Chain A
Amino acid sequence: MRALAPIAVVVALLAAVPLVTASNLVLNFLVVALLTALVGQGWNLLGGYGGQYSFGHAAFFGTGAYATAILQVRYGVNAWLGFAVGIAAGAAVGAIIGALSFRSGLKGSYFALVTLAFAEVLRIIASVAPITGAGVGTLIKLDLRPEALQFQSRVPFYWIILGLVAVSLVIMRMIEDSRFGAYLLALRENEDAAKALGVNTTLIKLGAMTVSAAIAAAGGCFYAQYFLFVDAGIAYGSWISIAALLAPIVGGAGTVFGPLLGALVVKTLGEATKLVAGDAPGLDLVIYGCVLILIVAFAPSGIAGLLRGAFQRFAAVKSLRPGQPHG
C-alpha cells in the first residue's frame, strides 16, 4: 500500500481546498481542470502506457455525456444510474472501435486517423439525429436534489470529480503494478517483440482501450451533470480530444500523475491567456497548440520528465566532492 501514499497525499491536499476557500472562481477552475485530468488519464492509459495515440477520445466522452443526458430527459432514468450507464456506454463504444481497429492491425498514424474519423461520424450523427436533440442539443432539467445528482453549491461536484480522479489514479497505479500493465509497456516499446514472447497484443490493446474509454466517458457523464447541457459540438467536438491528449503529454505521458499535472498547467495557461488577451474564441487553443509543439520539441517526457531530470542532476551534483569536474 506504500505505492498509494503519494496519491493519498495529493488527493487529501486537493480535498482540503473547499475548506480553505469558498470562491466559486477557484472551485470552477479546479473542477474543469480535474475534469480534464480525468479524461486525460483515460487517454494516458491507451496513449501514454500503450503507445496507441488516439485523436478521437471525444467519441467516448461524448457518448458518456449524451447517455447520461438522454436517459434522464427522455426516459426518466435516475441521474446516478444514468451516470453508471453512461460509463458503460462509453466503454462499449471504446471496445467496438478498438476491436475494429486492432483486428485490422491499425497502428500509429492510421489509428490516430481512424479514431478521429469515428469521433467525427458520431458528431455528425449527433448533430442530425432526433434523439440527441439534433442541432439544439439536450438540456437536463434543473432539479437541485442530491438524488438527481445536482447540488446547490459547487463543493459536492468538486468532491465528486476529485473522487473520480482519485479512482483513476488508483486504477492507473494498480495497472502499473500488474501483469497487464507490463504487457502494455512491452507492446508500446516493441510490439513485434512482445508478440513474439507470446503476449496477445490485440487483446491487451483492446482491454486498455475499453478502460481508457470508460474513464473518458466518466468525464463526459460528469460534464453533462455539471453543466446540464450537451450538444454535438461539445460532446463530440475536437476540443475534448485535444484536451485529452494535451494534459498527459504536457504533464508526462505514461506516468500516474502526468495528466493531473498537465491539466493544472494547461488550464492555468488558458486562464492566464484569457486574463491577458481577453476571451477571443480560439486564442486558448492557439496557446495549447504551441505548448504541444514546444513540449514535444524540448521536453518529450513532459513536465514529469523535466522534474525527474532536474532531480537526478541535483542528486549527481550533491554526490560529487567540491572541485571535482563533472559532466
Chain B
Amino acid sequence: MLSPAILVPAVFNGLMTGAVYALIALGLTLIYGVLHIINFAHGALLTAAMFAAFFAYKLLGLDPYLAAVPLTVLFFGLGYALQRFVIGLAGHGDDRNILLITLGLAIVIENALLVAFRADTRTINLPYAFDVIEIGTAFLAVPRVIAFAVVILVALALWLFMRWTDTGKAIRAVAKEKLGAELSGIDVGHIYAVTFGLGTACVAVAACLLIPTYYVNPTAGNAFVLIAFTIVVLGGMGSVVGALVSGLFVGVVESLSGLYLGESLGQIGIFVMFILVLLFRPSGLFGERA
C-alpha cells in the first residue's frame, strides 16, 4: 500500500524527531538514575528554555544554534541551584515530599511564564528553516538534520564525560551505591546538584533545537515531556542507552502512525502507549528503592 518513496522519508523524519525526544528523555532518565526522583518540573523547564531561546533570537538576534551554548551553561546553573537550594533542602530526603516539590516548581514556572507572556503562541522565522537536503528519494529539513547531529554529539559528549572524568565517575558511583560513595569522600549533595544541572542542560539544548521549527507558549513543553516520560519508562528508568534507543523508536512510531492514522490521533496514541507501558511492563521496572 505504501511505497518506499513515502515510507523511507517517514522513517528518516521519525528518527530526527525522535532524537530530540531522546535528548529530553536523557535529561529525565539521568536525574532518575542518580536521584531516584521523577522530575515533574522537566516540562516547565523545557518551556522556560524555549522562551529563553525565543527571546535570545528576537531581542539579541542570536541564532538558536549559537544561543544553545550560553543557554546550556545558564540552565546547568539553574538546575544545579534548584536541586541544591530548593529540592534538596525542602524535600527533607522524603520521596513523597520531593514529588510535591518538583510539582510545585512546575506549577510556579509554568504559571510565571503565563503571567509574563500570556497564553500567546510565538514562533521565529529563520531564513534557513525551510531549506531541505536531498538524500536519495527523501527530502530532509535542514533544522531537523542539525538537531539529529547535535543530539548524537551531546549524547557522545555525555558518555565521554561519564566514562572519563572524575565527576562523571562520582555520578556513576552515587547512582550505584550512595552510602558507599559518601563514605569514600564524595560530596553527594554536590553530585546530586551536578546531575540535576546536567538534566536541565539537556533540556536547554533540546529547546534550542526545537525552536526553529516549533512554537512556544507557556504549556509548549508539556507535550514533549509526556512523550519523554513514555520513552524513559520504555527504555528502563535510569538507562541512558535505553532512553536514546527508545527515543528514536518512539519518533519513528509516531511518524508512521501519523501516516496511517492521521495527526489528531497521534496525541492520544502517545498517552495510551504511555499508560500501557506503565501498566504492563514486567515488574522490576517498578521496584521502588528501599
Enumerate chain A interface residues (CB-CB to B < 8 A): 51, 53, 55, 100-101, 104-110, 112-114, 117-118, 120-121, 124-125, 128, 242, 245, 249, 280-283, 285-286, 288-290, 292-293, 296-297, 300
CA A117 – CA B43 in complex, angstroms?
14
The answer to whether B100 and A280 touch across the interface, beta carbons within 8 angstroms, is no
The answer to whether A121 and B278 touch across the interface, beta carbons within 8 angstroms, is no
CA A249 – CA B104 in complex, angstroms?
12
Interface of A is mostly: helix
The answer to whether B275 and A117 touch across the interface, beta carbons within 8 angstroms, is yes
Report B-chain residues with C-beta under 8 Å of the C-beta of A118. 275
Report B-chain residues with C-beta under 8 Å of the C-beta of A282. 110-115, 218
* Set A121, A245, A288: member contacting B275, Cβ < 8 A: A121
B280 in contact (CB, < 8 A): yes
Known contacts A286-B108, A292-B107; is-contact A113 B100 (Cβ 8 Å): no
The smallest C-beta distance from A300 to any residue of chain B, in angstroms, reads 6
Which of A120, A124, A128, A282 gathers the greatest number of chain B CB atoms within 10 Å? A282
The answer to whether A117 and B274 touch across the interface, beta carbons within 8 angstroms, is yes
The answer to whether B99 and A105 touch across the interface, beta carbons within 8 angstroms, is no
Known contacts A106-B286, A281-B119; is-contact A113 B272 (Cβ 8 Å): no
The answer to whether A285 and B99 touch across the interface, beta carbons within 8 angstroms, is no
The answer to whether B115 and A283 touch across the interface, beta carbons within 8 angstroms, is yes
Report A-chain residues with C-beta under 8 Å of the C-beta of B107. 242, 285-286, 288-289, 292
The answer to whether A113 and B112 touch across the interface, beta carbons within 8 angstroms, is no
The answer to whether A104 and B280 touch across the interface, beta carbons within 8 angstroms, is yes
The answer to whether A283 and B38 touch across the interface, beta carbons within 8 angstroms, is no
CA A293 – CA B99 in complex, angstroms?
10
* Set A53, A101, A120: member contacting B100, Cβ < 8 A: A53
Report A-chain residues with C-beta under 8 Å of the C-beta of B26. none
The smallest C-beta distance from A292 to any residue of chain B, in angstroms, reads 4
The smallest C-beta distance from A284 to any residue of chain B, in angstroms, reads 8
The smallest C-beta distance from A83 to any residue of chain B, in angstroms, reads 29
Known contacts A100-B279, A121-B272; is-contact A108 B111 (Cβ 8 Å): no
CA A290 – CA B101 in complex, angstroms?
9
* Set B86, B115, B278, B279: member contacting A281, Cβ < 8 A: B115
Known contacts A101-B279, A109-B37, A114-B278; is-contact A296 B272 (Cβ 8 Å): no
The answer to whether A120 and B226 touch across the interface, beta carbons within 8 angstroms, is yes
Query: Chain B, 207-223, contact with A by CB distance < 8 Å: what is the 0/1 string?
Result: 00000000000100000
The answer to whether B114 and A53 touch across the interface, beta carbons within 8 angstroms, is no
The answer to whether B90 and A296 touch across the interface, beta carbons within 8 angstroms, is yes
Query: Chain B, 94-135, contact with A by CB distance < 8 Å: what is the 0/1 string?
Result: 111101110111111011111100110000000000000000
CA A106 – CA B278 in complex, angstroms?
8
CA A191 – CA B35 in complex, angstroms?
22
A-B pairs with lowest CB-CB distance, top 7: A289-B107, A297-B90, A282-B114, A289-B108, A282-B111, A292-B104, A109-B38
Residue of B nearest to A103 (CB): B279
CA A106 – CA B94 in complex, angstroms?
18
Report B-chain residues with C-beta under 8 Å of the C-beta of A105. 283, 286
Query: Chain B, 251-290, contact with A by CB distance < 8 Å: what is the 0/1 string?
Result: 0000000000000100110011011001110010010100
* Set B91, B92, B111, B229: member contacting A283, Cβ < 8 A: B111
The answer to whether A280 and B97 touch across the interface, beta carbons within 8 angstroms, is no
For chain B residues 23-71, which have a beta carbon within 8 Å of chain A? Answer: 37-38, 40
